[in-house]
A and B are shown apart, each in its own frame.
Chain A
Amino acid sequence: MTGPVLEHLGEMKMELGPAHETAHPWRRGEADGIVWLALDCEGTGTNTVSEAVIAALETELEALEQDTPRALVIRSAKENGFAAGADIDSFADLSDAGAAELLRRGHAVLDRLTALGCPTVAVVHGAALGAGFELALACDWRIAVDGASFGFPEVNLGLHPGLGGTFRLTGLIDPLEAMTLMLTGKTAHTGKAKSLGIADVVTEERHVRAAIDAIIDGKVDRDGPGLKARAFQVDQARRLAAQRMHRETEKKAPQEHYPAPHALIDIWEEHGDDPDKMQSAEIESFAHLLGTDTSRNLRRVFFLRQGLKENAKGKDGIHYVHVIGAGEMGAEIAAWAAIRGKRVTLGDVDLKPLGKAVKAASALCKDTHLSAVETRDVLDRLMPDPNGYGLKNADLVIEAAPEDPDLKEKIYADAGERMKKGAILASNTSSLRLADLAKGAPDPSCFAGLHFFNPVSKMQLVEVVRHDSTDPDVAERLSAFCGTLDRLPVPVSDYPGFLVNRALTPYLMEAMVLIDEGVSQEVIDTAAMRFGMPMGPVALADQVGLDICLHVAESLKGALDKPMPEISPRLRGKVEAGQTGKKAGQGFYDWSKGTPRPDSEDSGPGDLTDRLILPMLDACMECLRKNVARNADEVDGAMIFATGFAPFRGGPMHYAEARGHDDIRTALQALADRHGDRFAPDPGWTDD
Chain B
Amino acid sequence: MTRPVYLVDGARTPFLKAEGKPGPFTPVDLAVQCGRPLLARQPFDRHIFDLVILGCVNVIADEMNPARVAALRLGMGEEMVAFTVQTNCGSGMQSIDTAFRYIQDGTHEMILAGGTEALSHAPLVLRQEAVEWMGALRAAKSPMQRAKAAAGIKPHYLKPVVGLERGLTDPITELNMGQTAEVLAHRFDIDRKTADAYAMESHHRLAHAQSEGWLNDEVMPAFDRDGAAYDHDTGVRPDSDMAGLAKPKPAFEPPFGKVTAGNASQITDGASWVIVASEEAVEAHGLTPMARIVDSEWAALDPSVMGLGPVLCSTPLAQRNGLGVADVDLWELNEAFAAQVLSCLAAWQDADFCRDVLGLEEAFGQIDRDDLNVDGGAISLGHPVGTSGNRIVLHLANAMQRRGDVKGIATECIGGGLGGAMLLEAT
Which A residues form the contact surface with B (CB < 8 A)? 1-3, 343, 345, 351-352, 354-356, 358-360, 362, 376-377, 379-381, 383-387, 389-390, 392-393
Indicate if the CB atoms of B78 and A3 lie closer than 8 Å: yes
Known contacts A377-B73, A383-B37, A383-B40; A358/B79 CB under 8 A: no
Given contacts A358-B225, A389-B41, 9 further A-B contacts (CB under 8 A): A343-B75, A355-B224, A360-B227, A376-B73, A380-B32, A384-B221, A384-B223, A384-B229, A389-B40
Digitize B202-244: 1 where CB-to-A-CB distance is under 8 Å, 0 elsewhere.
0000000000000000000101111111010000000000000
Digitize B2-18: 1 where CB-to-A-CB distance is under 8 Å, 0 elsewhere.
00000000000000000
Which of the residues B37, B225, B228, B229 comes within 8 Å of A379, measured between beta carbons? Answer: B225
Indicate if the CB atoms of B41 and A387 lie closer than 8 Å: yes
Most A CB contacts (10 A, CB to CB) among B37, B74, B223 go to B223
Contacts of B32 in A (CB 8 A): 380
Indicate if the CB atoms of A390 and B40 lie closer than 8 Å: yes
Categorize the interface residue count of chain B. Answer: 20 to 34
Digitize B27-49: 1 where CB-to-A-CB distance is under 8 Å, 0 elsewhere.
00000100011001101000000
Bound Cα distance from A579 to B79, whole angstroms: 53
Distance in Å from the Cβ of A388 to the closest Cβ of chain B? 10
Distance in Å from the Cβ of B353 to the closest Cβ of chain A? 47
Indicate if the CB atoms of B36 and A362 lie closer than 8 Å: no
Contacts of A355 in B (CB 8 A): 223-224, 227-229
Bound Cα distance from A2 to B77, whole angstroms: 9
Interface pairs A-B: 4 shortest CB-CB: A359-B227, A351-B229, A355-B229, A389-B40
Indicate if the CB atoms of A351 and B221 lie closer than 8 Å: yes
Contacts of B79 in A (CB 8 A): 3
| 24 sampled A-B residue pairs with Cβ under 8 A | A3-B78, A3-B79, A343-B75, A351-B231, A354-B223, A354-B229, A355-B227, A355-B228, A356-B227, A358-B223, A358-B227, A360-B227, A380-B36, A380-B73, A380-B74, A380-B75, A381-B75, A383-B37, A383-B40, A385-B37, A385-B40, A386-B221, A389-B37, A390-B40
Residue of A nearest to B75 (CB): A343
Contacts of A360 in B (CB 8 A): 227
Residue of B nearest to A392 (CB): B43
Indicate if the CB atoms of A383 and B225 lie closer than 8 Å: no
Which B residues form the contact surface with A (CB < 8 A)? 32, 36-37, 40-41, 43, 73-75, 77-79, 221, 223-229, 231
Distance in Å from the Cβ of B68 to the closest Cβ of chain A? 14
Contacts of B221 in A (CB 8 A): 351, 354, 384, 386
Indicate if the CB atoms of A362 and B78 lie closer than 8 Å: no
Bound Cα distance from A359 to B24, whole angstroms: 13
Bound Cα distance from A351 to B219, whole angstroms: 14
Contacts of A377 in B (CB 8 A): 73
Contacts of A383 in B (CB 8 A): 36-37, 40
Residue of B nearest to A350 (CB): B229
Contacts of B41 in A (CB 8 A): 387, 389
Bound Cα distance from A393 to B227, whole angstroms: 25
Bound Cα distance from A351 to B75, whole angstroms: 24
Bound Cα distance from A389 to B226, whole angstroms: 24
Bound Cα distance from A91 to B312, whole angstroms: 86
Contacts of A384 in B (CB 8 A): 221, 223, 229
Distance in Å from the Cβ of A616 to the closest Cβ of chain B? 38
Residue of A nearest to B226 (CB): A359
Bound Cα distance from A343 to B77, whole angstroms: 13
Bound Cα distance from A380 to B28, whole angstroms: 11
Contacts of B227 in A (CB 8 A): 355-356, 358-360
Residue of A nearest to B224 (CB): A358
Which of the residues B37, B40, B73, B225 comes within 8 Å of A362, measured between beta carbons? Answer: B225
Distance in Å from the Cβ of A375 to the closest Cβ of chain B? 9
Indicate if the CB atoms of B40 and A393 lie closer than 8 Å: yes
Contacts of A393 in B (CB 8 A): 40
Most A CB contacts (10 A, CB to CB) among B40, B75, B228, B231 go to B40
Residue of B nearest to A380 (CB): B73
Bound Cα distance from A1 to B72, whole angstroms: 11
Bound Cα distance from A358 to B32, whole angstroms: 15
Bound Cα distance from A356 to B227, whole angstroms: 5
Contacts of A351 in B (CB 8 A): 221, 223, 229, 231
Contacts of B75 in A (CB 8 A): 343, 380-381
Indicate if the CB atoms of B229 and A352 lie closer than 8 Å: yes
Most A CB contacts (10 A, CB to CB) among B77, B227, B228 go to B227
Distance in Å from the Cβ of A628 to the closest Cβ of chain B? 38
Bound Cα distance from A381 to B223, whole angstroms: 13
Distance in Å from the Cβ of A484 to the closest Cβ of chain B? 17
Bound Cα distance from A362 to B223, whole angstroms: 12
Indicate if the CB atoms of B78 and A1 lie closer than 8 Å: yes
Bound Cα distance from A366 to B278, whole angstroms: 44
Bound Cα distance from A358 to B225, whole angstroms: 6
Distance in Å from the Cβ of B275 to the closest Cβ of chain A? 14
